[in-house]
Amino acid sequence: MSDLSQIVKAYDIRGVVPDQWDEQAAAALGAGFAQFLTASHPSSTSVVIAHDMRASSPGLASAFARGVLSEGLGVVEAGLGSTDMLYFAAGSLGLPGAMFTASHNPAKYNGIKLCLAGAKPVGQESGLREIRDNAQRILDEATLIPAPAGARPEQHDVLADYARYLRELVDLAHIRPLKLVVDAGNGMGGYTVPAVLGDQVLGGLPLTIVPLYFELDGSFPNHEANPLEPKNLIDLQHAVVQHGADLGLAFDGDADRCFVIDERGEPVSPSAITALVAARELAKHPGETVIHNLITSSAVPEIIKENGGTPVRSRVGHSFIKADMARTNAVFGGEHSAHYYFREFWFADTGMLAAMHVLAALGGQPEPLSVLAGDFERYVASGEINSTVPDQKAKQQAVRAAYADAEVDELDGLTLTFADGAWVNLRASNTEPLLRLNVEAPTATRMAQLRDEVLGLIRS
Catalytically active residues are 103
Sign of the CA dihedral with 244 first, then 245, 250, and 254 last: negative
H-helix or E-strand spanning residue 356:
helix 351-363
- The whole-angstrom separation of Cα 130 and Cα 38 is 12
CA dihedral angle for residue 31, residue 37, residue 43, residue 47, rounded to 10 degrees: -50
- The whole-angstrom separation of Cα 392 and Cα 387 is 10
Would you mind telling me the total number of residues written for the chain in this entry? 460
Task: Give the burial class of 414: count Cβ atoms within 10 A of its Cβ; 0-12 exposed, 13-18 middle, 19 or more buried.
Answer: buried
Give 205's Cβ-side CA count (13 Å radius).
29
- The whole-angstrom separation of Cα 299 and Cα 336 is 12
Q: 242-263 b/e with 16+ CB inside 10 Å = b?
A: eeebbbbbbbbbbbbbbbbbbb
Distances (CA, A) of 399 to 195, 298, 392, 452, 457: 50, 21, 11, 12, 7
- The whole-angstrom separation of Cα 259 and Cα 242 is 19
- The whole-angstrom separation of Cα 304 and Cα 324 is 16
CB 95 within 8 Å of CB 49: no
- The whole-angstrom separation of Cα 455 and Cα 388 is 11
Distances (CA, A) of 112 to 5, 87, 268, 324: 14, 13, 30, 23
